[in-house]
Amino acid sequence: MIMMMMVVDVMSMMMVVDVLSMMMMMVVGVMSMMMMGMVMSMMMMMVAVVMMMMIAVVMSMMMMMVAVVMSMMMMMVAVVMSMMMMMRMVMSMMIIMMMEMVMSMMLMMVAVVMSMMMMMMGMVMSMAMMKLLRQRLTESNVSLD
């Protein structure tokens, strides 16, 4: 009888240990999976950030170039205008003012078009990035399978 009790005790203890070890294994597995997921997402984010930063740097450099060119053009226009002003007086003032207005309007139009193009380019770039990310994800899923 006592022997039977001992055996039952040992069996129950072993069962408890089994359950505990299984739970521990499950926890460890889940933790490792979570860690893997976190690392993967961090890497993906790093790649995306680096790519975006590169694109942003290129974009800002282009914008700076455009701005420099624009300001130089504006300065040239202003110099030419002032020279014309000095050359001609009251009669041509009106014409010059009209020309100035037209010029400034044209420049504004150019700036608007440029910004629109930049926005379009940015949208296209982001779309392409999303597509690339999706492709990468699908490829990794397939390879995992």
98-116 pLDDT, tens per residue?
667 777 777 777 777 777 7
Percent of the chain with pLDDT over 90: 0
Q: What is the pTM assigned to this prediction?
A: 0.29
Q: Where are the chain's structural domains?
A: 2-144
| Burial (CB count <10 Å: 0-12, 13-18, 19+), residue 48 | middle
Which residues in 36-135 belong to E strands, given as ranges?
A: none
Per-residue pLDDT, 66: 76
pLDDT band at 91 (very low <50, low <70, confident <90, very high): low
Residue that the structure tokens 């997402």 belong to: 41
Residue that the structure tokens 């790093």 belong to: 46
Question: Which one, of 132, 140, 134, lies nearest residue 37 by Cα?
Answer: 140
pLDDT band at 90 (very low <50, low <70, confident <90, very high): low
CA distance 115 to 104: 16
Q: Is the pLDDT of residue 145 over 60?
A: no
pLDDT band at 54 (very low <50, low <70, confident <90, very high): confident
Which residues in the chain belong to E strands, given as ranges?
A: none
Q: Is the pLDDT of residue 141 over 80?
A: no
CA distances, 96 to each of 53, 73, 84 (Å): 45, 17, 8
Whether 24 contacts 17, CB under 8 Å: no
Per-residue pLDDT, 28: 80
